Amino acid sequence: MSHINDTPITDELVAEHGLTPDEFQMVCDHMGRIPNYTELGVFSVMWSEHCSYKSSRKWLKKLPVSGPQVIQGPGENAGVIDIGDGDAAVFKMESHNHPSFIEPYQGAATGVGGIMRDVFTMGARPVANLNALRFGAPDHPKTRHLVAGVVSGIGGYGNCMGVPTVGGEINFDPSYNGNNLVNAMCVGVARTDKIFYAAATGIGSPVVYVGSKTGRDGIHGATMASAEFDDASEEKRPTVQVGDPFTEKLLLEACQELMASDAIIGIQDMGAAGLTSSSVEMADKGGVGIVLDLDKVPVRETHMTGYEMLLSESQERMLMVLKPGREPEAKAIFDRWGLDFAVIGELTDTNRMVVHHKGREIADMPLGPLADGAPEYDRPHVPTPKAADFKAAWLDKAPDTLSALKTLMGSSEVASRRWVYEQYDSMVMGDTVAGPGGDAALVRVHGTHKGLAISTDVNPRYCFADPIEGGKQAVAEAYRNICAVGAKPLAITNCLNFGNPERPEIMGQFVGCLEGMGEAGKTLDFPVVSGNVSLYNETNGTGILPTPAIGGVGLIQDLDKAVGNSFTQDGQIIYLLGDTAGHLGSSLYQRDVLDNHEIVAPPRVDLALEEAHGSLVREAIDQGLIAAAHDVSDGGLLVALAEMCLGHGIGAQIDADGDIDDDADATTDNDTGYWFGEDQARYVVSVGADKADAFEALAKHVSLTRLGKTSGHSLTFGASLSISVSELHDIYEGWLPALMSS
């Protein structure tokens, strides 16, 4: 019987593996010969966009990645920051977009499983999951199916794992009709002296496979995630992995038990590209070689080829390198947890990856070119043209202010996400202090008074209109959301979702967004410690809006001082912190109230003001002066006020007259801009009447406006405009259930 490696390597076969002719020539040069079929497959996945970041590496290097709080930055399974007292937060965000479009339940579920493995591979116990989801237009025929499947998959996996899902975001836009986004984030906690890394060292050390058996699911998943969709994408369903959260729970506990010993040298999750990427990355980081015997790999299907075993993306698997002689101890642990354990190879001094299967050497490849030898492209990019300003004349036929508020509160962007997050267990583990629905989630560091504040944020409309300002704003909003609960922002992870980088205008979006993110990260001391790049998010040439999702993590030393974003009692004074120019460009008001889809400049981000206002809010919360705080973002001031009324059903009497500040950036002299403009660096806070003087004294160096006070059960504003909180509640809570039941 012929062997798969006897297959002739043709131009067509190379193209099917996602390599260009030039890239294939590079492979041949590194090999000193034409690769065989198995070797071609290995190079294909390792040099895929998903694994190699060949279009983005040049620009990722420009992001700030260090600081005194950073223990481990990009390059490992997850980032690690110091949160004091010998504790570390370990976190990362990653995409599972393409699989979730093809098979929404399993795609989303395995995305959650994969990101949790990235975290516990580092030695951390996962304590919180979040997600950032984007779907197509609400009325698109696939949207409800995708929402239902993705949400069910996230809840099904996370709930079974016993890790709370504490926050996230979900948005709708026609650009995602053919390519939804599923970005999963996980945060874990570890001791700083018990962080585990991937580097494999020690010639002769055993290479050990643990977890589930290998099947044919997910083969070429990394390659699929590195190509755009077309009308035949449904046929790629076999490339979607299938997850088992119950096995993952066992794997977590078994790994934690073994990690309590000193037996592990290096450990790596088998994620994208499976056994191939984990073995290549571990050996390369340790500067060693590796030899694998695939006959020893536990498999659940018959007659699997070595090619299939190397490229399978079956879930719930780990690769580790142990200290020699510790195999029996480790095996006993995994046996006790009912998991597979197999010594499948050892480390060598060759700096090569050699693979044997059924008595035959099926691959012999240099590790350096596999790990770091993929081409680094400086793809042509065209800066996004400067967008026009909002035209005041567009307001001539604008509805009245109250009608506009009702429209926004029941819009796809603002309306309650309760239908989604009630399908998630947000309280399991017992350390969730504030779950979904706030500016940032709060999770107690177990057994302490301190907590982690976590948020996911990005405004794709801003990024499309002005990538630099949009990139800044994504980081700034994460910063604001963490400050709004009283926590100090420490670091971010990101998930950079864009279209086809081979199109100069798309690459221009990417470059611009990273420029803005980098500037914001540096100014706000908010470095990037981990992340993921997801390109080719488009179908039949139609790309998504640029969506560089930000996952922010901060620390509050005393959770008793934390505040929420809902008014807490009558008689509190309401303040607006920050200037209002009435900027309506790229606003929700423009899109959803005016039904105007012109590309218009978004609001500018003043990073110095973001830092100053954020610091003030944190200090005021720490001093016990603020009862509630909420950042002003989508929908502007009036939407922020309405949201603050909803939490406890407490109304507000707003005395401000709607006059905008005298500012050069003002786009309208109409009070519409005051109520609905999306000017940045702003917070609404409520303060007890007995603490108002102290708060005003603390805030004397910043722009502060007394808006009114909490009162009754209605939101009253402007020229005697009023709406009951109960009516607001019905509008706000009704949209998503109506969509999903229609």
Chain-centroid distance of CA 718 in Å reads 39
Q: Which two tokens stand for residue 415?
A: 């309306």
C-alpha distances out from residue 200 to 271, 286, 352, Å: 17, 5, 13
- Is 635 within 8 Å of 588 (Cβ atoms)? yes
Whole-angstrom Cα distance, residue 208 to residue 327? Answer: 8
- Phi, psi (deg, nearest 5) at residue 266: -150, 155
User: Can you say whether the dihedral through the CA atoms of 227, 233, 239, 241 is positive or negative?
Assistant: positive
Q: Which two tokens stand for residue 714?
A: 């209605």
Q: Please report where in the chains the tokens 């500012």 appear, as a residue.
A: 663
C-alpha distances out from residue 300 to 4, 215, 309, 340, 504, Å: 20, 6, 11, 11, 45
Pairing of strands 125-135, 181-191: antiparallel
Active site residue 50: yes
Q: Please report where in the chains the tokens 């989630």 appear, as a residue.
A: 441
- Is 93 within 8 Å of 455 (Cβ atoms)? no
DSSP SS3 for 367: helix
- In order, the DSSP letters of 646-682 are HTTT--EEE----PPP--TT---SSHHHHHH---SS-
Whole-angstrom Cα distance, residue 165 to residue 701? Answer: 39
Q: Which two tokens stand for residue 2?
A: 């012929």
CA angle 357, 362, 363 (to 5 degrees): 125
C-alpha distances out from residue 551 to 62, 275, 554, Å: 18, 28, 10
Q: Select which of 3, 17, 50, 140 is catalytic.
A: 50
- Is 625 within 8 Å of 691 (Cβ atoms)? yes
Query: Residue 447: is it exposed, middle or buried by C-beta count within 10 angstroms (0-12/13-18/19+)?
Result: exposed
C-alpha distances out from residue 59 to 63, 381, 508, Å: 8, 12, 11
Closest by CA to 312, choosing from 12, 696, 45, 585, is 45
Q: Which two tokens stand for residue 216?
A: 């044919």
Whole-angstrom Cα distance, residue 412 to residue 70? Answer: 37
Work out the number of other CB atoms within 10 angstroms of the CB of residue 61. Answer: 11
Pairing of strands 488-497, 528-534: parallel
Whole-angstrom Cα distance, residue 259 to residue 349? Answer: 26
Q: Which two tokens stand for residue 359?
A: 């008595």
Q: Which two tokens stand for residue 53?
A: 């970041």
Q: Which two tokens stand for residue 162?
A: 């016993």
Whole-angstrom Cα distance, residue 444 to residue 432? Answer: 6
Work out the number of other CB atoms within 10 angstroms of the CB of residue 32. Answer: 7
Active site residue 96: yes
Q: How many CA atoms lie within 13 A of 643 on its CB side?
A: 29
Work out the number of other CB atoms within 10 angstroms of the CB of residue 5. Answer: 20
First to last CA, the chain: 56
Q: Select which of 17, 96, 220, 381 is catalytic.
A: 96
CA angle 174, 176, 177 (to 5 degrees): 70
- In order, the DSSP letters of 196-232 are ------STTPEEEEEESPB-STTTTHHHHTTS-B-TT
- Is 23 within 8 Å of 29 (Cβ atoms)? no
As annotated, the active-site residues are 50, 96
